[in-house]
Structure 1
Amino acid sequence: MRALEGIRVVELATYVAAPSGGRVLADWGAEVIKVESPKMDIWRNYGKTFNGPANDDENPIFDVPNANKKNICLDLKVPEGMEALHRLLATADVFITNNRPKPLKRMGLDYQSLKAKHPRLICGYVTGYGEEGPEADSPGFDTVAYWAKSGFMADMRINNPGSYPIYAPGGVGDNSCGTMLAGGICAALYARDRTGKGDKVSVSLFGLATWVMSLMNTSVQPPYNYQYPKTRFEGRPITLPYECGDGEWIMINIMEWERYRDAFCEAMEIPEVASDPRFQTSAGVGKLENRGPLIQILEEKFRSKSSDYWDERLTKADIVHSRLAHFRDAVVSEQAKANHYVEHITCPSGQDYWLARPCVALEEGGLPPYELAHALGQDSREILSQLGYTPEEINALAEKGAIKVK
């Protein structure tokens, strides 16, 4: 039995942040029912943006946040569609949405309205910037509300002539936000077992970014005034990436220099560094006047051999390090496969992929399935039948446009 088996989640959400939270809950055993309008979740089309397919037979960009869910298509602008949603919510434990506060209020899907009708319901809301303050109703995707608003894009930019902020990678803040949402929902479910009452769980992309970047936004405050970014020779030599002779890079991270100094220097074939008075201690390595010389020594040495060569030697010396993997490497690494961080999937089209899955493993529940995202309205008949609708009533709703069925 998986941890959340018997819990029903209704997800009225688009894009990635809120749906990724539903995906996590589904992997932990909840029955997650994704509610889409006839216009569908626009994320179904975004595979094309990433040079990929976007159809019912092959849609990996949509599958990752939407696997292991059922799908019902309801037009909430039609009274009968909204009635069907409330009949569904009456059977649910959790409601998830990323609609903004004002539209939710108009639809009667804000927390206070739902609490009056469904007092045991846990309501999970995802916003761009939080539900209070001047930006509460502002739209926000993770590139803006997470990467730009957090300070990362401005303060981690190397300010050289002609340089510019990185093109922020999409989905990072979204998936993190969804995972935080899933944790909050589980806490609310645990509390409901003791109180019998539902609760409201609220997370935002900006709030999450503030938490994730807390080391940075704490250290820059007075009186510390730590500065970002660091130029190459301002960095600590033993926590930097180095280019190897084959053009690949290796990142080292030695937190206890005195403990690992001799082993590291032997592995790197630089005994002179181990005996150099400037580099005997962590404090000495950290002195600004010593950083540049040691970095230059290490740069020259790393470039003298391939990344395979240095990776093998550093591994034998038990030095914390890693190649700078490419995105294509991470999903097919033996480490990812062994821990089921990725799953080999064959789409109905016949195309194979390695697709990521939520990485929290619950031993007693076993490995969750990986059922690709359902088509729009694929489960409408089944779900409505469970709610007491007759086949004739379902057909009538379809003819009226209140629902869509496959």
Structure 2
Amino acid sequence: MDNQKPLSGYRIVELATFVAAPVCARLLGDWGADVIKVESPAGDAWRTFGQTMSMPVNEDENPAWEIANTNKRAIAVDLKNPHGQKVLHDLLQTADVFITNNRIEALKKINLDYESLKEKYPRLIYGIVTGFGENGPDVNQPGFDSVAFWGRSGFLADLVPPGAYPVYSPAGFGDLAVGTILCGGISTALLKREKTGKGEKVSISLFGASVWLAGLMITSTQSRYQNKYPKERLEGNPMVIPYKTKDGEWVFLTVIEYDRYWPALCKVIEREDLITDARFKTRLDMLNNRAALIPILEEAFETKDIAEWLTRLREADIVHVRLQHLREIENDQQAWANDYLYENTFANGAKAILPSSPIQWAEAGALPRQSGPLLGEHTQELLEELGYTQEQIEELKNQRAARIR
């Protein structure tokens, strides 16, 4: 492996399923670490999830699997079998980081909780993802991002008009956010270990991350400040909402510096009379009279097509965007110009557009992408690296302690 990569020389052992924790390990692999994914002989259930989103889940084409599992090697062992447990511990002896999202009570049963491992492997960084945290009444509750991240935080209930159907939870969004944040914590723990020689536990939960990411809204709604959610359209900030254009498109404004940009916006919409309107003189005046201003702006934006508004707003240096659809991103030239997307070729020769990991390196460059591993694809290879003889490998296979392709 290229030793110029930021995490070259570090080994990550991942015992995790679905998305949040595996995405963290995938990113560490993108940055040069040797990532080993440990699965049961039945495999991570995420291998078959893509079909719920109209994607294939075959061994030769599995795009949902790729997003969370590129740049990894895979070993399949049965942790209910003592021989399988020994293989995992042999891996941990070589590891710098252990990442898991198993429930704490399940980890304790097989002595893979932090307290059990820190004495055996004092330099090990232990990263864990939970649904709701490691304390409190819901500590052992299962939680996917739809429940623990989106549902528990208030996002689904409050980001719609009052009485409307709750937001359809964006698939994997909270998981990818949590996995990305955890990467920062683990990297920092590795830096700490360089100074102290000691391992560390790094913990994050889907619920905790959602509280952090929704922090402005959660803080403002407390009884002291009484900001209100959900909001009717006329209760929103007129400077930070979308407006429908003549051709049925939507343009989203984000005017944060009101005093600076309000006159420019009035000129853009050809309503310079509003510049001196006492109802909108200051930001506070504007907010107090939002119910009057929003219909005025709606009427103005409905007079022209989206293309003209985009040109006018850009020339006035007003922050804006045309609301895109998810299906349009694969052709977004800004995304391609910055390598936010890449074309992946699957084993069957099919091609698909996938998202790149978000962190980019000026000097280290991009690590060549290794496709997400097949179930047990590297079991033989990794056992040999650990010093197992062929006879011992056959015995593991006979004991059904490992799946070897």
TM-score by length of 1: 0.95
Match of 1:345?
A: 344
Matched, 1:47 2:50: yes
* Partner secondary structure for residue 239 of structure 1: coil
The aligned amino acid for 1:44 is R
The aligned amino acid for 1:373 is G
* Partner secondary structure for residue 123 of structure 1: strand
Give 1:133 deviation, angstroms. 1.2
Give the Cα separation in 2 of the matches to 1:334 and 1:157: 31
Give 1:370 deviation, angstroms. 2.5
Give the Cα separation in 1 of the matches to 2:261 and 2:168: 37
Q: How many residues align?
A: 402
Matched, 1:148 2:151: yes
Match of 1:122?
A: 125
Give 1:399 deviation, angstroms. 2.8
Question: Which stretch has the larger CA shift, 28-37 or 258-267?
Answer: 258-267
Structure 2's unaligned 5+ residue stretches are none
Match of 2:264?
A: 263
Match of 2:221?
A: 220
Give the Cα separation in 1 of the matches to 2:235 and 2:134: 40
Matched, 1:28 2:27: no
CA pair 194-63 structure 1, distance change in 2 beyond 3 A: same
Give the Cα separation in 1 of the matches to 2:367 and 2:245: 40
Structure 1's unaligned 5+ residue stretches are none
The aligned amino acid for 2:27 is V
The aligned amino acid for 2:321 is S
Give CA deviations for 1:102-151 in whole Å, capped at 9, x if unaligned.
11011110111111211111111111011111111111111111111112
Match of 2:101?
A: 98
* Partner secondary structure for residue 363 of structure 2: helix
Match of 2:201?
A: 200
Give CA deviations for 1:255-290 in whole Å, capped at 9, x if unaligned.
112212232222223223234333333232222xx3
Give the Cα separation in 2 of the matches to 1:359 and 1:170: 18
Contact 1:8 1:94 in 2 (8 A): yes
Contact 2:60 2:347 in 1 (8 A): yes
Give the Cα separation in 2 of the matches to 1:401 and 1:357: 37
Match of 1:177?
A: 178
Contact 1:97 1:124 in 2 (8 A): yes
Give the Cα separation in 1 of the matches to 2:29 and 2:330: 21
The aligned amino acid for 1:46 is F
Which of 142, 146, 161 is residue 139 of structure 1 equivalent to?
Answer: 142
Moved over 3 A (4+): none
Give the Cα separation in 1 of the matches to 2:287 and 2:404: 65
Contact 1:25 1:182 in 2 (8 A): yes
* Partner secondary structure for residue 215 of structure 1: helix
Give the Cα separation in 1 of the matches to 2:401 and 2:100: 20
Give the Cα separation in 2 of the matches to 1:217 and 1:279: 28
The aligned amino acid for 1:5 is S
Question: Mapping of 1:275-354 within 5 angstroms?
Answer: 275-287=276-288, 290-354=289-353
Matched, 1:74 2:77: yes
Contact 1:73 1:405 in 2 (8 A): yes
Give the Cα separation in 2 of the matches to 1:271 and 1:384: 74
Give 1:391 deviation, angstroms. 2.4
Give the Cα separation in 1 of the matches to 2:331 and 2:12: 32
Give CA deviations for 1:180-203 in whole Å, capped at 9, x if unaligned.
111111111111111111111111
Give the Cα separation in 1 of the matches to 2:279 and 2:369: 54
The aligned amino acid for 1:356 is P
Question: Mapping of 1:388-403 within 5 angstroms?
Answer: 388-403=387-402
The aligned amino acid for 1:311 is L
Matched, 1:10 2:7: no
Give the Cα separation in 1 of the matches to 2:366 and 2:263: 42
Contact 1:380 1:404 in 2 (8 A): yes
Give the Cα separation in 2 of the matches to 1:316 and 1:346: 40
* Partner secondary structure for residue 388 of structure 1: coil
Match of 2:192?
A: 191
Contact 2:162 2:231 in 1 (8 A): no
* Partner secondary structure for residue 363 of structure 1: coil
Question: Which stretch has the larger CA shift, 263-272 or 164-173?
Answer: 263-272
* Partner secondary structure for residue 353 of structure 1: strand
Give the Cα separation in 2 of the matches to 1:298 and 1:115: 60
Identity of aligned residues (%): 48
Give 1:6 deviation, angstroms. 0.6
Contact 1:63 1:372 in 2 (8 A): yes
User: What RMSD over aligned residues (CA atoms) do the two structures have, in Å?
Assistant: 1.4
Contact 1:331 1:356 in 2 (8 A): no
Give 1:62 deviation, angstroms. 1.1
* Partner secondary structure for residue 126 of structure 1: strand
Give 1:400 deviation, angstroms. 2.4
Give the Cα separation in 1 of the matches to 2:281 and 2:115: 63
Give 1:294 deviation, angstroms. 2.1
Give the Cα separation in 1 of the matches to 2:116 and 2:335: 44
Match of 1:272?
A: 273
Give the Cα separation in 1 of the matches to 2:270 and 2:59: 55
Question: Which stretch has the larger CA shift, 202-211 or 265-274?
Answer: 265-274
* Partner secondary structure for residue 130 of structure 1: coil
Give CA deviations for 1:82-113 in whole Å, capped at 9, x if unaligned.
11111011000000000101110111101111
* Partner secondary structure for residue 237 of structure 1: coil
